[in-house]
A = this chain, B = another copy of it.
């Protein structure tokens, strides 16, 4: 029976998950592929010994032992971060090895170089686990939706941020408190910046956009705003407005230009994305032929992410056995068919907004604010005035009709300068139904 040998670099959360999955599914994979998938070596800097059940797998501290091993077919990089991951991946490719990675930071920043090197050397790069954890979203986009012009991508792509927002919503707790608890429970890392500030979500959106639209893009080009400034009051007001606040990645395809942004968003309760709670992820595509499609599942976690990495291993193993390497282009479009596209500047975007103003409880304030909005052609859909929260100050919530972001910025600059406005206006974009 054909045997495929896998070398694993990085025995952290996902690395352990992959080892567990390959062990528990060994017989099943034989029944499904007719091949044996063998974890032929694990390289990890900080691991002195492997758990008993993996004791037949050679362990090394040096990744190059695996990269240089001529018997190994596939190198799986699960150490994360840019370096030394990038060096290992490029070296593995140079050695003619197929590569699998879950490293969205690496791919969204250095993807161009990695995919070019792999194409030149004729090896595969698998990255199903880089977006949406165990959800088979990369395969769905590249193959299942191949006969679609993707018109939009929307998703909840970070489990930590969604977990925090869900608990803030369900328990009325402030951000900092939930974060601390999430860290204690292992749902958030010691440094949660990438997760809560939307950077991790932007990495993933960049990867999806590259494949959906056939365009090169890095996460640096994606306007990104996190959830750390969301207050329980905004969550409560969202509920009154029939919405839930979610950290969304949003991209719309306008043909010659494409939107790309990550920010907290008011999602109407009827929308499926409003029902995605806890550590779950969901990615929604609108395709010109398929219409709306949504994929839902655990966006992180050792074993679920291991499931996605293992699917890549099987996919590449099948290509090795069938001599069909390069059967599906790594980025869905052929390298020569990729076309750069303009990213719509945030200033040009239009949509409805939620503003929360903290104003002195004086006559005339609302009239002044309304006057400024009107000057910038921002039309008001509704106004809610809440009772006194602080001495002398009241909260006023304004929901607008669709307005241009540049006009909103200018209007809020002006409003923030008013003497009667005692704190910067909180601005949250509202999801427009397609």
Contacts and interface: CB of A to CB of B under 8 A. Distances in A.
Contact of A144 (B136, B275, B291, B292): B136
B295 A295 contact: yes
A311 to B, nearest CB: 5
A253 to B, nearest CB: 12
A345 interface: no
A29 interface: yes
A374 B139 CA distance: 52
Interface residues of A, number: 64
Nearest to A332: B32
B145 A136 contact: yes
B139 A143 contact: yes
A289 B304 contact: yes
Interface string A256-300: 000000000000000010010000100000011111111111100
Contacts of A377: none
A333 B290 contact: no
A53 interface: no
A334 interface: yes
A139 B144 contact: yes
A152 B195 CA distance: 31
A115 to B, nearest CB: 15
A31 interface: yes
A214 interface: yes
Contacts of A145: 136, 307, 311
B295 A294 contact: yes
Interface string A324-344: 101111001110010000000
Nearest to A292: B297
Interface stretch (A39-47, A315-323, A353-361): A315-323
B134 A290 contact: yes
A239 to B, nearest CB: 16
Interface stretch (A20-28, A88-96, A379-387, A399-407): A20-28
13 contacts: A28-B147, A31-B214, A31-B333, A32-B146, A135-B290, A136-B143, A139-B139, A139-B144, A140-B295, A290-B307, A291-B303, A322-B323, A324-B327
Interface of A: 20-22, 24-25, 28-34, 128, 134-136, 139-140, 143-149, 214, 272, 275, 280, 287-298, 301, 303-304, 306-308, 310-311, 314-315, 318-319, 322-324, 326-329, 332-334, 337
